[in-house]
Amino acid sequence: MIATLKVLSLLLSYPSQELKDEAGALRAALEGERLLKPQTLRALEPLFDELARNDLLELQGRYVDLFDRTRSLSLHLFEHVHGESRERGQAMIDLRAAYGEQGLLMVSDELPDFLPAFLEFAAVLPLKEARRTLAEPVHVLQALHERLQARGTPYAAVLAALVELSGARPHPDALQELRAKPDPAADDFEAVDKSWEEEAVRFGPETAEPTGLMAKLRAWRRPADGVRTGPNR
């Protein structure tokens, strides 16, 4: 298990009392594994401080305002890659199957492209393979980082850490495509409604064969080093 990816997954999850209580332990896990640069760890401090000090309802309200109201900040990866295109359904099936091959069974109603779930998956892979996994949607991670940074939220540091861990640079055209999409504030209700009505995001023509992230997911057919398959982790 790559502890750093597990911690970043938890930081992007809906705030809970357990997350608040364990903020110190999560910080220590990041420092102990030493996969992130010192400046990246320092950038995460404001988020840890908020989790430890702020009221839980306040944390949950901020989380909803950021990630649940605006399409541009959705933590569902395929929202940015496939939009509402016909490829999205098959991509979900492929991703869920890839999770199952590593013994990761989703027990909630959350969709498999939810970023915290994707990071849980990457966390059970060997480090080199985990980095390649993160590199596939790196343009989405970078776009989310930029949008969160523009809002001045400490969650931006989590996305910056993921981009760093991927060791990849986003393709300029793919990143520019995302940058060009509407990015309304959560309290701009008219703009938010309009953004959900925009045409689906597509990179290239739809084809019967998956490309990019899905092609790589279909290619993974071996268990992660030291990871037992099956329903228990």
Host domain of residue 32: 3-219
pLDDT band at 185 (very low <50, low <70, confident <90, very high): low
- Tokens standing for residue 120: 């849980």
Q: Average pLDDT, stretch 145-162? A: 97
Class of residue 166 by CB neighbours under 10 A (exposed 0-12, middle 13-18, buried 19+): buried
pLDDT at 209 over 70: no
Q: What is the pLDDT of residue 79?
A: 84
pLDDT at 175 over 60: yes
**59 has which bridge partners?**
none
Is residue 230 domain-resident?
no
Query: What angle, rounded to 10 degrees, do the helices at 156-166 and 138-150 form?
Result: 150
Is residue 232 domain-resident?
no
Q: What is the pLDDT of residue 18?
A: 95
Q: What is the rounded CA–CA span in Å between residue 99 and residue 151?
A: 33
Query: Out of 34-38, 39-43, 228-232, which region has the weakest mean confidence (pLDDT)?
Result: 228-232
Is residue 233 domain-resident?
no
Q: What percent of the chain has pLDDT over 90?
A: 59
pLDDT at 60 over 50: yes
By the 8 A CB rule, do 204 and 212 touch? no
Instruction: Using the structure block, give the residue that is written with the tokens 């490829």.
Output: 87
Q: What is the rounded CA–CA span in Å between residue 133 and residue 118?
A: 9
Q: What is the pLDDT of residue 89?
A: 65
**114 has which bridge partners?**
76
Q: What is the pTM of this model?
A: 0.76
Query: Out of 100-104, 149-153, 167-171, 205-209, which region has the weakest mean confidence (pLDDT)?
Result: 205-209
Is residue 227 domain-resident?
no
| Helix (H) or strand (E) run with residue 174 in it | helix 172-179
Q: Average pLDDT, stretch 87-102? A: 74
Is residue 231 domain-resident?
no
Of 105 and 100, the one with more pLDDT = 100
Is residue 224 domain-resident?
no
pLDDT at 63 over 90: yes
Own/partner contacts of 61-66, CB < 8 Å, gap of 24 or more, are 62/153, 63/14, 63/15, 65/186, 66/148, 66/151, 66/153, 66/155, 66/186
Q: What is the rounded CA–CA span in Å between residue 180 and residue 193?
A: 17
Q: What is the rounded CA–CA span in Å between residue 195 and residue 184?
A: 8
Q: What is the pLDDT of residue 106?
A: 66
Query: Out of 17-31, 95-109, 155-169, which region has the weakest mean confidence (pLDDT)?
Result: 95-109
Query: Out of 2-6, 15-19, 52-56, 69-73, which region has the weakest mean confidence (pLDDT)?
Result: 69-73
- Nearest to residue 121, comparing CAs of 99, 141, 97? 99
Of 220 and 42, the one with more pLDDT = 42
Instruction: Express each pLDDT in 118-131 by its tens digit.
Output: 999 999 999 999 99
3-state secondary structure (DSSP) of residue 124: coil
Q: What is the pLDDT of residue 171?
A: 92
Q: What is the pLDDT of residue 107?
A: 63
* Total domains, the chain: 1
Is residue 32 domain-resident?
yes
> What is the rounded average pLDDT for all residues in the chain?
79
Class of residue 197 by CB neighbours under 10 A (exposed 0-12, middle 13-18, buried 19+): exposed
Is residue 144 domain-resident?
yes
Q: What is the pLDDT of residue 137?
A: 93
Q: Provide φ and ψ at 83, rounded to 5°.
A: 60, -130
